[in-house]
Amino acid sequence: MLKTGLTPDKSIALEKRIIFALDLDAPETAKAWVKHLESRIGFYKVGLELFLAGGFPIVEWIIKQGHEVMLDLKFFDVPRTVASAVRQTLHSGVSFITVHGNDAMLKAAVEAGGRDKILAVTALTSLDQGDLTSLGFSCSPEALVVSRAERALAIGCKGVVASGLEAPLLRNRLGPSLCIVTPGIRPISNTELDDQKRIIDPGRAIRQGADHIVVGRPLRRAGDPLALAAQMQEAVQEALLHK
């Protein structure tokens, strides 16, 4: 039975709603961005590019500044290797760890100590129906996302990474216990897709059930990143107040 009228977790602090994507190739550049944005943003994503450049030291530096980290390495390997990789990350104090794998990989990640940290990647926001068809999927993006999210929640994952376009389906079907982290965020005034295909604006993402939104290039390219962050937070706050 569908559960209607459910909202994202309202206990999350406003400065933790936006996760700034540090998709950068140098630790010093990443540190400069953290210092520039930390008066507004207290949650940062470290992906494959920055992690290869800075490793755990950049992750631990961000956490020592009093912020949270989403370690977005999208682990995908045999279950034993995924479990070992998760255990390697636990000492760093990261809040979220992404796994882009099947049920066995997710189960291994959860059992390795990641029950309160693992986010299952559902379908990348850079993929649309044509991409999924070319990859051999006969279902729609929505059906794929819901199926993967249902299994992730049953396995014990903290939540999922999913487009805001699918967030209402997930929130209605799976209730408030699932943490939904939404990439592919663009301000209403920004029409640049970059490599994203399923995008959504900040306020709409929260209204439709997202707990956190991941933003990178729109902030990095803004003339005044702090001002844009403030505008996006206002949109988030407005969306939460009217839930």
The reply to whether 225 falls in a domain is yes
Domain with 137 in it: 15-241
Band of residue 90 on the pLDDT scale cut at 50, 70, 90: very high
The reply to whether 49 falls in a domain is yes
Amino acid identity at 194: D
Amino acid identity at 226: L
Q: Specify the CATH number for the domain of residue 111.
A: 3.20.20.70
The reply to whether 6 falls in a domain is no
- pLDDT tens-digit series, residues 57-73: 999 999 999 999 999 99
Q: Rounded to whole angstroms, how far apart are CA atoms 175 and 89?
A: 29
The reply to whether 155 falls in a domain is yes
Q: Rounded to whole angstroms, how far apart are CA atoms 11 and 216?
A: 24
State the pLDDT at residue 198.
47
Mean pLDDT of 133-155: 76
Question: How many CB atoms are located within 10 Å of the residue 202 CB?
Answer: 27
Name the H helices within 43-199.
48-64, 79-90, 103-109, 129-134, 141-155, 167-174
> What phi and psi values does residue 225 have, to the nearest 5 degrees?
-55, -40
The reply to whether 129 falls in a domain is yes
Band of residue 85 on the pLDDT scale cut at 50, 70, 90: very high
- Tell me the torsion sign for CA atoms 187, 183, 90, 114: positive
Tell me the percentage of the chain whose pLDDT exceeds 90.
68
| Cβ-proximal residues to 218 (8 Å cutoff; 6+ apart), any chain | 185, 186, 187, 190, 192, 228
Mean pLDDT of 193-213: 78
pLDDT reading at 75 higher than 90 = yes
The reply to whether 211 falls in a domain is yes
Mean pLDDT of 23-28: 97
- Active-site positions? 74
